[in-house]
Amino acid sequence: MRSFDLVVIGAGPGGYVAAIRGAQKGLRTAVVEARDVGGTCLNRGCIPTKSMVHSAGLYRQALEGGIFGLTSRELGVDFDAVNSRKTEVVERLRTGTERLLQSHKVEIVRGRAVIKTPNIIAVNEEEIEANYIIVATGSEPALLPGGMMDHENVFTTDEALSRDAKLYKRILISGGGVIGCEFANIYNDLGCEVTIVGSRENLLRRLDSEISRNLMSIFKKRGISIITPAKIQDIQEVDNKLSVRINHKDNIREAACDGVLVCIGRRPVTGGLFLDGVHVEMEWGYIKTNKHMQTSIPNIYAIGDCTAGSAQLAHAASAQGLNAVSHMVSEAPAADLDAIPGCVYTNPEIGHVGMTELQAKERGVEVKCGKYLMSGNGKSIVTNEDRGFVKLVFDAKTDVLLGAHLMCARATDIISEMACAIANQLTAEQLARVVRPHPTYVEGISEAAEDFAGMAIHMAPRRKL
């Protein structure tokens, strides 16, 4: 029986980061992976999606090039080339990740792991002993019930991001969360007729309400049909097309399309992981952990999408993996898990971190906001960005930043500055004192902070979004 100090089950962004950190701390480490190194994020999620976002966005920009004085006689989409580029990016990063693991002397064990005892893992026909175990098995797409997934052109993001993915003339997206909105943006940019069926009144319901309303307005302006609150009741094939029956506010309506993309959430991959006798406390299939990422069995840790209360973000899983290893080696946490930013790669991009106004009020915290409409931002005007804004939420008593909600170009990059500000409890005055370069999108941060202090100089008159 081979023996390791640490065995990580799952080589996604949480698992491989934890494995490398374990090796760096002197632990003899192995990582077990049943599929491809890199997990969902690299192979069936973040990376291939953003490759498609980039390709689709370039096509949309090219179509709108006339405003910048750019013209073209021939312009089209080669979807096979889009898929090839996506696959090339994924394979390049996967190879790099495998080499990184090898360079740190982390052993990669191929196969499906089963935890037989708190210290014994079975992989294929082999048993492996471990002092510590980190479960990083991730999640998989949730499916529509009642046989609706049995149709050829009803599919999940796994198929939408595969090598042989199709481009549909008319596509219906089931789900109004982050994944559904990103794919709606992609297909719309590529010229598809897009319909979103969301179960709640607003898209992106967990985000700031102004972001939700603004995105829905932009989507409708671009021709995306939004049906909310609604639920798909049935899918039938009619003349090689799909007929979808939708319960919309207690009324049944039908929509015709060529394909249905199912983005109704994700479920943890934990089934069959623990054999009888290994009793880890769980909730609806998710593994419960403490602040150190320990399960109810102290030497077994869990991180990422398979944990209860997971943010289902790659960078959150990585941070949790670092903290789990820190706890094993009796060190202080390596990452601050109280300020985890989230990103939505629509156009405009969305970045958010910390509390919304509503969340603060629910916790009994009195807040005030500073806001800046990016329609007055020089860089946004130069690049012809759609309407967006920067909204900062401050504690009304201390002026400390509690939340930041950005909807603008490069929001997914700018939000890191806001996460740093929240982690370090910066005030509005401290944010306003920073000299940010001009012309840039990040100037919106200065304007929003100054708006809170009543000292804005370039602030355009307030308009409702």
Question: Catalytic amino acids?
Answer: 438
Q: Which amino acid is at 455?
A: M
C-alpha 104 chain-centroid distance = 28
Question: If DSSP states are collapsed to H, E and C, what string results for the chain?
Answer: CEEEEEEEECCCCCHHHHHHHHHHCCCCEEEEECCCCCHHHHHHCHHHHHHHHHHHHHHHHHHCHHHHCCCCCCCCCCHHHHHHHHHHHHHHHHHHHHHHHHHCCCEEEECCEEEEECCEEEECCEEEEEEEEEECCCEEECCCCCCHHHCCCEEEHHHHCCCCCCCCCEEEEECCCHHHHHHHHHHHHCCCEEEEECCCCCCCCCCCHHHHHHHHHHHHHCCCEEECCEEEEEEEEECCEEEEEEEECCEEEEEEECEEEECCCEEECCCCCECCCCCCCEECCEECCCCCCECCCCCEEECHHHECCCCCCHHHHHHHHHHHHHHHCCCCCCCCCCCCCEEECCCCCEEEEECCHHHHHHCCCCEEEEEEEHHHCHHHHHCCCCCCEEEEEEECCCCEEEEEEEECCCHHHHHHHHHHHHHCCCEHHHHHHCCCCCCCCCHHHHHHHHHHHCCCCCCCCCCCC
167 contacts: CB under 8 Å, gap ≥ 6: 77, 79, 187, 190, 192
Name the one residue in this structure whose structure tokens are 């297909």: 187
d(Cα 251, Cα 317) in Å, to the nearest integer?
A: 41
Cβ(281)–Cβ(263) below 8 Å:
no
182 contacts: CB under 8 Å, gap ≥ 6: 49, 53, 344, 345, 346
d(Cα 239, Cα 112) in Å, to the nearest integer?
A: 42
d(Cα 132, Cα 165) in Å, to the nearest integer?
A: 40
